[in-house]
Structure 1
């Protein structure tokens, strides 16, 4: 069958359509138009990222992003994310986009990669050489009735992200994230990439995101990305020496309280199936499971 679509690099003018496509495919994942446009115009440094679009009948029918994973200790490890609109599936668009992405990753020296697949797409992933390795759980919280009131306790001060410095947050992130669950050992994200993906993220709500400070140092934090009345808990973490004190729940409660007061109606989050402490925190806060995805791994041979 002759393909009735074409693949091209994403353009800034695609941002609105691609944001809508993402909401259609993954309604529980929050990424605003401004974030997508910036990724197209100036991809994050150190990731060799590409962003492709499949055009069909004059509109984006699918997209793929492929990049070198900056948190991986293996420089040859990458990630692929494919999205195809439900109305355009069954035409080979996903297969073509994935082939373009994996060919590109091989060319830049990536030898292994992962992708996320919903359970009903697992067959597609396997047919293309990706095998499941672990599960990610997605949850939602209705903030219209959220009543959480944090109790910081002695020695802890809660402040909005707007009152902390870039360097202080980066140091806390480096300390907290090195044991984050994943398919390969992790490493601290290089500073330029972290600055792009975290500190300069257009959706980051600095007045809502919260840090817990003790002795002038950030010991725990919860970052929230906002798109209208929807929000995404991008990361909640505590530096190792301060764990076991309930700080993750504390900062996330305060972040959600501020979000609710600011008009956010639904908050979404995700957790690796092995991250039982955060799964427990989210359950106590009232999050309810709504979806799962499977991390699938492939070796990219030439």
Structure 2
């Protein structure tokens, strides 16, 4: 599985109680959303502007979306926080992101934002999901202090789409570009899709049917989907979305009975071409570090590792 990256956590915790005269957490107004994106990207250099502002650009993808900012008495933005339940997420799971500007760390800002987000959780939330980059050991420590536990270490890699080969399917194999994810044989495609999910994330409850795949995309994204068929039977699929000239691959899988035939490489190669045709210049993906099969395929296609993320969760009491 190559989950769309919609979760994150960064920040700094301090045992000192925040001075309420210095730190106030208030709803983030629309007029300051781009400033919030600037803050996130400055603090987290691995994050693209599209990732940092996805919930602003695609509020329709979430239930109970809430955005807050921490400000001082002069109205200076010290940090930001976001929470919401993505439609494609398992029931009861909502994301939580806390980001504090580097120059304002150690003042209890992150803790104040975290508390404000807990008071604004989407209805029905039983678990929080979040993440921290693997080169942020202090952030990992803080997330653990707050009660998060690591579920997986995801390796993020990317591919330059400027020079791409044309896939050459063997006899009996056909490739189909279906950006709207509407199929004449939808039941067969969904059966293959569900059977293909033997990845670590599926064991954690992150299972996609066609409806959840369609729910991944906002009105501002261009969906990309390629299905491989063997003698007319759905056998492999890759799905992603293009935004800000970047293809974010959400999921790729091959039906168990069709593995070992190079179908994963074929659907990805065709998806790269389809994404480039609609303006993408780079493709990005994330895979659990021990998912050696897909990581080996990605490397053979030219993907280069650029970062890693600890994906984490927290079960809420009561």
Instruction: Please say which of residues 243-252 and 211-220 is displaced more in the overlay.
Output: 211-220
Quote the RMSD (CA, aligned, Å).
3.6
Secondary structure at 1:197's aligned position in 2?
Answer: coil
**8 A Cα contact 1:64 1:83, kept in partner:** no
| TM-score, normalization by structure 2 | 0.74
Question: Given that residues 229 and 265 in structure 1 are in contact (C-alpha distance below 8 angstroms), is that contact kept between their aligned partners in structure 2?
Answer: yes
CA distance in 2, matches of 1:258, 1:211: 12
For structure 1, list consecutive stretches of 5 or more residues without a partner in the other structure: none
1:1-302 matched pairs, under 5 angstroms = 1-3=18-20, 4-10=22-28, 13=31, 15-24=33-42, 25=44, 27-29=46-48, 31=50, 35-37=54-56, 39-40=58-59, 42-44=60-62, 48-56=63-71, 57=75, 61-67=79-85, 70-72=88-90, 75-105=91-121, 108-119=123-134, 120=136, 121-144=139-162, 146-162=163-179, 165=182, 168=186, 171=190, 174-176=193-195, 178-182=197-201, 185-186=204-205, 188-189=207-208, 193-198=212-217, 202-206=220-224, 209-260=225-276, 263-302=279-318
8 Å contact kept, 2:37–2:53: no
Shift of 1:166: 5.7
Worse overlay, 92-101 or 146-155: 92-101
- 1:32 and 1:227 in contact (8 A); partners too: no
How far has the Cα of 1:163 moved from its partner?
A: 7.4
Q: Number of aligned residue pairs: give it.
A: 291
Cα pair distance change 1:13/1:205, threshold 3 Å? farther
Q: Measured at CA, do residues 197 and 8 of structure 1 come closer, stay the same or move farther in structure 2, by a change above 3 Å? A: farther
Moved over 6 A (4+): none
CA contact under 8 A between 1:231 and 1:264: conserved in structure 2?
A: yes
Q: Deviations over 1:105-147 (max 9, x none)?
A: 5x84444433211232111112211232421111122333x33
Taking a change above 3 Å as real, the CA distance of residues 190 and 245 of structure 1, as seen in their structure-2 partners, is closer
